Amino acid sequence: MRYLYLITSLLLFYITAFSQSMDLEPVLISSSLQEKKKRESGRNIIFLTKEDIQKIPGNSLDEILRFVPGIEVQMRGPAGAQADFVFRGGTFQQVLVLIDGIRMNEPLTGHFNSYIPVVKEEIQRIEILKGAAASLFGPDAVSGVIHIITQKAFDKEKERALHASLQRGSYGLSQQTLSMGISNPKTHVFAGVQYNKVNGEELRGTRGFVKTGLYAISASRKLSGDWNMHVRFAVDRRNFNAQNFYTGFVSDTACENVNSTWQQASVSKVTSKKDYYLLFGARQLEDEYRFRPKSIANNNRTRLLNADLRQVNKYKWQQARWTNGIQASNKIIQSNDRGNHTHQHAGLYSVLFHQPLKGLFLTEGLRLDWDRSYQWNFVPQFNFSYVMKNISLRGSIAKGVRDADFTERFNNYKKTGVTGGRIGNPDLKAEKSLNMELGADLFSQSPVQLHFTLFRRNQSNLIDWVNTTYNNMPRRENLIAGGIYALALNVASVQTTGAELDINGAHQLSSQLNIRWNTGLTLVKAAATNDVSSLYLSNYARVIWNSNIQLTHTRGLISISTLMKRREAQTTNVLIVPVSKSFSVVNLRADIYLWNKKTTLFFQADNFFNVKYADFIGAKMPGRWLSTGISLNL
């Protein structure tokens, strides 16, 4: 690995010194509810284009995202079984996932937030905002936002696209994808199917199998009077081995079925003076979790409804844009384990973006929330960016808030004779935080960009799982004396500080050869004032390095992705698979283009150096994983 890092560094130095420049101008973004240039936003934002997503080696979207600078993806299994998104040393519930501006975080547990119901070929780009954005998007946007934006039209007025791919590999991997898009000047329709099956490697008394199926259809239509309509429908089916995904017990031989459906709809009107948006999203989920083959399964059903109505006013004065809106959500659960509950939330928000002086861009956000749990809450945010010729200075200060999900409040609440595991706590308070960051960006004339950020998060009432003896449990009526329990508690106060450095470049080496690359280093330190040892607080990576290099020729592609993590040593699960204190993983991909790039033969090697590691609790990750396939694009 040391040799690989050295070779990579020397290669990037040579390319930077001797290559010709390619265009790296920031594109317009929508991560602040308003389109603006990246350097004007006052935030550290990363973009993944459709081409980037296709070229980064990985068998699912979560595997691809773990090579993006600044994102920690805590993997529990391969090929989309389950993963958690973590930003800046936070917890996975503190990351908000959006699809076309619509909130999609699952109310049962944040572990399902990586189940994104979008076929890769449908994605136009992904915007990754690091840092708090609760005043703009509402609860859960405490440490970061992942915004998936789907394609609603082709570049040409009339076009048809067909994609088909077939992949086979180690551990019985079998993956098939078929998608089709049709566009004319007024209508765009997309339909896609993706099926994935992995037999998995040998585990304790079982195999780490994964079976997934994704079915998606969407349509966009230009209406009269500058109005536009977009609808999406998706079905996601997952069946996987969940051994030690949630517990460190030797007796854990769990498997799980998670079936989800999504419906989304939006109506918008964009004019020179005002924009109007009405967004609606619904998600239904059925989860069946069985700890052992003969045990009684946990059956959970949840429903999530989201609505967002907003108006954007555009002014010539200071190039200002003023957005006002209202959001509302309703969460419902029916469970033999957690009981039957409902939860409502509503928020009013106002965001002003303007340029009071040359080069100075300000964004002020105000939000007033009402939540069934914590009642009224005021959430402000302020961003600034001062842009000089090639350098921008930026900063942000924001409040964040997150309420407990149904698992944190009610896990193992309805069962009898519970001998161990995680126990929910209905009396949990909402997490609240103050988030601050300062940064600088270098947009030089050379084909390299550099982004540096210092951040701090002061947080109260962090929700986490803490080992608690039977005698100290607040509710013991369904527990067994002498049991081993992890109780959901509010950790008194947590201070998180850190720094992140992101560098990316694009270079034209010749008329037929170019290279794009990005690399990022994140350093984080979090400490609880009362010295409590809790599950997620002790598991985040103190040091994380992500990188990807794509060398593209007219005849093919070579892509190398590297991930390195280092965390504090953990003493849990030593009798099973200990969580790795540090590990490095390298994925490789090689493409060969045929017939004017309409057909691609590809070869992929995941975990090329065959590293043995566990990223969370005792979930053993696969070793070297080789695969090959063919894709057709017409």
pLDDT tens column, 470-526: 899 998 888 998 888 889 999 878 899 999 999 988 888 888 899 999 999 999 998
**Closest listed residue to residue 287, CA positions, set 264, 247, 259, 312:** 259
What stretch of H or E contains 11? helix 2-18
In degrees rounded to 5, what are phi and psi of residue 510? -160, 180
CA distance 441 to 361: 14
Amino acid of residue 614: A
Give the least confident one: 153-157, 198-202, 283-287, 513-517.
153-157
Residues whose CB is less than 8 angstroms from the CB of residue 583 and which lie 6 or more positions away in sequence, other chains included: 564, 565, 611, 613, 615
pLDDT at res. 24: 46
Q: Widest CA span of the chain, in angstroms?
A: 73
Higher pLDDT, 616 or 285: 285
- Asked if residues 115 and 194 have their Cβ atoms less than 8 Å apart, the reply is no
Number of domain units in the chain: 1
Amino acid of residue 507: H
- Asked if residues 345 and 328 have their Cβ atoms less than 8 Å apart, the reply is yes
pLDDT for residue 78 is more than 90: no
pLDDT tens column, 555-592: 999 999 999 999 886 655 444 566 788 899 999 999 99
Which is it for the CA torsion 108, 112, 117, 122, positive or negative?
positive
Using only C-alpha atoms, the chain has a radius of gyration, in whole angstroms, of 24
- Asked if residues 60 and 196 have their Cβ atoms less than 8 Å apart, the reply is yes
**Which two three-digit tokens encode residue 293?**
């083959």
pLDDT for residue 155 is more than 80: no
pLDDT at res. 18: 43
What stretch of H or E contains 55? helix 50-55
In degrees rounded to 5, what are phi and psi of residue 537? -65, -30
**Closest listed residue to residue 579, CA positions, set 622, 524, 623, 619:** 619
**Which two three-digit tokens encode residue 249?**
């017990």
pLDDT tens column, 113-128: 889 899 988 999 899 9
In the predicted model, what is the mean pLDDT of residues 527-551? 83
Q: What share of the chain is helix, strand, coil (3-state, %, to 5)?
A: 10, 60, 30
- Asked if residues 155 and 138 have their Cβ atoms less than 8 Å apart, the reply is no
Structural domain for 485, as ranges = 2-633
Domain with residue 205: its CATH number is: 2.40.170.20
CA distance 168 to 145: 33
CA 570 to chain centroid, in Å, comes to 25
Residues whose CB is less than 8 angstroms from the CB of residue 363 and which lie 6 or more positions away in sequence, other chains included: 32, 41, 42, 351, 352, 353, 381, 382, 383, 384
pLDDT tens column, 430-448: 999 999 999 999 877 667 8
pLDDT tens column, 221-241: 999 888 999 999 999 999 999
pLDDT for residue 162 is more than 90: yes
